[in-house]
């Protein structure tokens, strides 16, 4: 069983993110919502309708836009032909030109799919989802494997869709993407939702807004040092992994000098020291004890 005991409600007009490492059950969840995978049990309603066979199911599909994770579009067709094909499945759709403008692929309309770059292919996949004038857009890892520029272009497309009143459900394993795009996120791990809320709420739940990572020159993480750090003022959590020590702190401007003074007093030197604002990545680490990116 890939997913168990999921209870989510997504409001019209919001952008909801399913977040988690590979294998967390994000794709299974989104495909159940898309009506492509039948759930073993439970209730699924999309736009207020349950999934049904036949005409009712097709009527519901008219209102959705879906981008799947692994679809490879026919390489021999041109961009315009591909969109024309997808357009023909819907009663009420954008014209090819309209949807090309939405994803800024106008200059590629006559290009074969095989000649497109990764980012352009992904924008075409999203265009195939947008061509139906959907009320609800499903995006399964839309930016995985893309360069930063292509990623930002896709974010812009999603923002414009939302500005026009659309609802988005997307999955991602980039926490940064979720923080930037989503009104609310559900963090998933091993088929369960382990946290749910706005990105701001989730980060606030750490009880601290900064993370300090450091490592000692001689390596290792002495137990007595960890105990002293736990007792230090302003430190809400200490985590160790390999030679790295990670502190979650409330007030960086007080905690950092205190840490340096402590290390100097012990006569040990640092081989690494970085700090950053707490992110959803840190929320994931706090909840699971694992790094999101390594998994």
* Residue corresponding to tokens 């699924």: 44
Phi, psi dihedrals of residue 12, rounded to the nearest 5°: -60, 140
Q: Is 2 in the site for another protein (CB under 8 A)?
A: no
Relative orientation angle of helices 148-163 and 118-130, to the nearest 10 degrees: 10
Q: Is 51 in the site for another protein (CB under 8 A)?
A: no
Q: Which is nearer to another protein, 138 or 214 (CB)?
A: 138
259, 159, 248: which is closest to 209 by C-alpha?
A: 248
Q: Which strand (E) or helix (H) includes residue 276?
A: strand 270-277
Kindly tell me which residue out of 23, 84, 197, 241 binds another protein, with binding defined by CB under 8 A.
84
Give the Cα separation of 63 and 79 in Å (integer). 23
> Of the ranges 60-68, 152-160, 197-205, 216-224, which one interacts with another protein (CB under 8 A)?
60-68
Q: Which is nearer to another protein, 31 or 281 (CB)?
A: 31
Kindly tell me which residue out of 46, 64, 178, 216 binds another protein, with binding defined by CB under 8 A.
64
Q: Which is nearer to another protein, 51 or 214 (CB)?
A: 51
171 with 274: CB under 8 angstroms?
no
Q: Is 109 in the site for another protein (CB under 8 A)?
A: no
15, 3, 2, 13: which is closest to 139 by C-alpha?
A: 15
Which DSSP string corresponds to 118-147?
HHHHHHHHHHHHHTT--SEEEEESTTTT--
Kindly tell me which residue out of 36, 101, 260, 261 binds another protein, with binding defined by CB under 8 A.
36
234, 189, 194: which is closest to 211 by C-alpha?
A: 234
> Of the ranges 85-93, 166-174, 224-232, 274-282, which one interacts with another protein (CB under 8 A)?
85-93
Kindly tell me which residue out of 90, 192, 209, 244 binds another protein, with binding defined by CB under 8 A.
90
Q: Is 137 in the site for another protein (CB under 8 A)?
A: no
Nearest-Å Rg of the Cα atoms of the chain is 23
24, 67, 294, 45: which is closest to 170 by C-alpha?
A: 67
Kindly tell me which residue out of 2, 23, 39, 81 binds another protein, with binding defined by CB under 8 A.
81
Q: Which is nearer to another protein, 80 or 286 (CB)?
A: 80
Kindly tell me which residue out of 27, 28, 29, 132 binds another protein, with binding defined by CB under 8 A.
132
CB of 48 to another protein, least distance (A): 18
Give the Cα separation of 155 and 65 in Å (integer). 16
Q: Is 135 in the site for another protein (CB under 8 A)?
A: no
Q: Is 155 in the site for another protein (CB under 8 A)?
A: no
Task: List residues binding another protein (CB under 8 A).
Answer: 34-36, 58-59, 61-62, 64, 66, 68, 70-74, 76-77, 81, 84-91, 112, 128, 132
């Amino acid at each position: 069983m890939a997913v168990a005991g999921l209870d989510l409600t997504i409001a019209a007009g919001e952008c909801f993110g399913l977040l988690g490492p590979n294998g967390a059950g994000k794709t299974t969840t989104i495909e159940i919502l898309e009506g492509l995978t039948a759930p073993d049990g439970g209730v699924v309603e999309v736009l207020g309708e349950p999934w049904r066979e036949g005409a009712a199911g097709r009527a519901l599909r008219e209102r959705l836009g879906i981008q799947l994770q692994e679809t490879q579009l026919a390489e021999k067709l041109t961009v315009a032909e591909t969109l024309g094909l997808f357009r023909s499945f819907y009663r009420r759709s954008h014209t090819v030109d309209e949807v090309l403008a939405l994803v800024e692929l106008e200059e590629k309309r006559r290009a074969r799919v095989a000649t497109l770059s990764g980012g352009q292919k992904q924008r075409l996949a999203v265009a195939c989802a947008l061509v139906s004038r959907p009320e609800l857009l499903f995006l399964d890892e839309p930016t995985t494997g893309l360069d930063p520029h292509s990623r930002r272009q896709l974010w812009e497309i999603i923002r414009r869709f939302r500005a026009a009143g659309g609802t988005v459900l997307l999955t991602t394993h980039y926490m940064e993407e979720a923080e930037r795009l989503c009104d609310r996120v559900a963090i998933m791990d091993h088929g369960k939702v382990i946290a749910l809320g706005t990105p701001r709420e989730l980060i606030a739940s750490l009880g601290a807004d900064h993370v300090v990572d450091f490592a000692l020159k001689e390596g290792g993480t002495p137990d007595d040092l960890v105990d002293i750090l736990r007792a230090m003022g302003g430190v809400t959590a200490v985590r160790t992994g390999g030679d790295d020590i990670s502190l979650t702190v409330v007030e960086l401007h007080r905690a950092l000098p205190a840490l340096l003074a402590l290390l100097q007093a012990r006569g040990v030197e640092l081989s690494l020291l970085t700090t950053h604002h707490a992110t959803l990545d840190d929320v994931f680490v706090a909840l699971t004890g694992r790094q999101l990116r390594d998994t």
